[in-house]
Amino acid sequence: MNLTTNAYLNAALTLGIGIAGAALAWLVQFPAPALTGPALSVSLLAVAGLTLSVPLLLRHACFVVIGLSMGTGVTPEVIETARQWPLSFLFLGASVVTIFFSCRLLLQRGWKQDRNTAILSSTPGHLSYILGLSTTIKGDLASISVIQSTRVLALTLLVPFAVSLMGYDTSKMALPGAQMTLGPLLVSVGVALVLGLFLNRLRVPAALLLGGMVFSTATHMSGMVVGHVPLYASIPAFIVMGSLIGTRFSGVNMATLRRALGAGLGVTLVAFLVTIIFAVLLVQFVDLPLPQVLIAFAPGGVESMAAMAVIMNADPTFVAAHHVWRLVILTFLAPMILGRAPD
């Protein structure tokens, strides 16, 4: 069996597990089942030893569709709320710094990690960038990868449950109102994909997601395109996104998992508690829904939190802007701390 055939079989197996996980999550009434079900089912079977993967082109398509879904939710009312964002950006920056130093202290004192490993493991986001940094310095790359992946998976599961406990409906899979017809949808996907790949060449964070969002926002605000992304496109995108989160654990050996899983859960708990504290503090000063702020502040994966925003009908521009701002902060924070003399 050649390499290409193996890749197709792995992809088919991964998506099959993701679909089954989504169906089971829907049956047991998990919040955001199309995202949380695949993330959990694929993660469990990847840890059990299956080699699972999502092809690059399918990832691209998934990010673009989620970006398009976010763009269709941008309205003049959304733009009006942007006047409240500077204070929100300030609170987010404070939460990111608090999470970073709190988790670093936890890992160095509680799990006896060396300085560099603790710094890179405690950075709340920008996973690909952090893993790139970890290859240039002395650090435990396997532990960093597991801790960071645990954070993304755990927050993907925790945030919907937290929002659900606040009394919000987390089972909806589409925005209300008219849906895009097939022709405009296909054109939008194609053009947004090209724009996303261009932004990716410029090293823009979450380029394909932002490409879809920017194109969709422009065409909907101008009236060129009407309606939201239909369920037959959005649900598969959510399933692919959830499955992709789960594949982060593929190939991780049990010794590494046992060593780093507890640290990953500890980091996630600290990050989630700090996020809740700063989100609650912010809504005392601005007129913003707490669930929306929580999704925007939660240091999960950019694409997974973007999908969450669509599922929960949160302000997509607000969520995307805050996650990009978090990545900008981390781009400078991690190298700056690494470059300091050891404590």
- What are the two backbone dihedrals, phi and then psi, of residue 228, each rounded to the nearest 5 degrees? -90, 165
* Cβ neighbours, 10 Å, residue 128: 9
Residue whose tokens read 């969002």: 213
> For residues 173 and 195, what is the distance between their CA atoms, to the nearest angstrom?
26
- For residue 29, is it left (φ>0), alpha (ψ between -120 and 50) or beta? left
Token pair belonging to 45:
């079977």
Six-digit token pair at 217? 């926002």
Read off the pLDDT of residues 316-341 as tens digits, 9 standing for 90 and up.
888 988 998 998 899 899 889 887 64
pLDDT in tens, 2-34: 557 788 899 999 999 999 999 999 999 999 999
Q: How far apart are CA 158 and CA 47, in angstroms?
A: 20
Query: Which one-letter amino acid corresponds to residue 170?
Result: T
Give the CA dihedral 175, 152, 236, 190, nearest 10 degrees.
80
pLDDT attached to residue 343? 46
Distance CA 136, CA 333 (A): 16
In one letter, which amino acid is 174? Answer: A
Question: What is the number of residues in the chain?
Answer: 343
Spatial CA neighbour of 303 closest among 200, 207, 197, 194: 207
Strand partners, 89: none
Options 1.20.1530, 1.10.1660, 2.60.120, 1.10.3470; CATH for 3-339 is 1.20.1530
So what's the pLDDT on residue 174? 54
Distance CA 280, CA 161 (A): 17
- What pLDDT is recorded for position 341? 46
Which of these, 308, 299, 277, 256, lies nearest to 144 by C-alpha position? 256
- Return the ∠ at Cα 266 (arms to 261 and 269), rounded to 5°: 125
Q: CA-based angle 336:342:343, to the nearest 5?
A: 105
Write down the residue that tokens 């606040």 correspond to: 166
pTM as predicted: 0.90
Q: Where are the domains of the chain?
A: 3-339
Single-letter code of the amino acid located at 93: G
> With a cut of 70, which residues of the chain have pLDDT below it?
1-3, 75-79, 171-177, 340-343
d(CA 24, CA 235) in angstroms, rounded, equals 15
Burial of 259 (0-12, 13-18, 19+ CB in 10 A): middle
Secondary structure, 3-state, 102-166: HHHHHHHHHCCCCHHHHHHHHCCCCHHHHHHHHCCCCCCHHHHHHHHHHHHHHHHHHHHHHHHHC
Q: For the beta carbon of residue 288, count every other beta carbon within 10 angstroms.
A: 20
Residue 161 CB coordination number (10 Å): 14
105, 261 in Cβ contact below 8 A? no
Spatial CA neighbour of 179 closest among 138, 226, 244, 146: 226
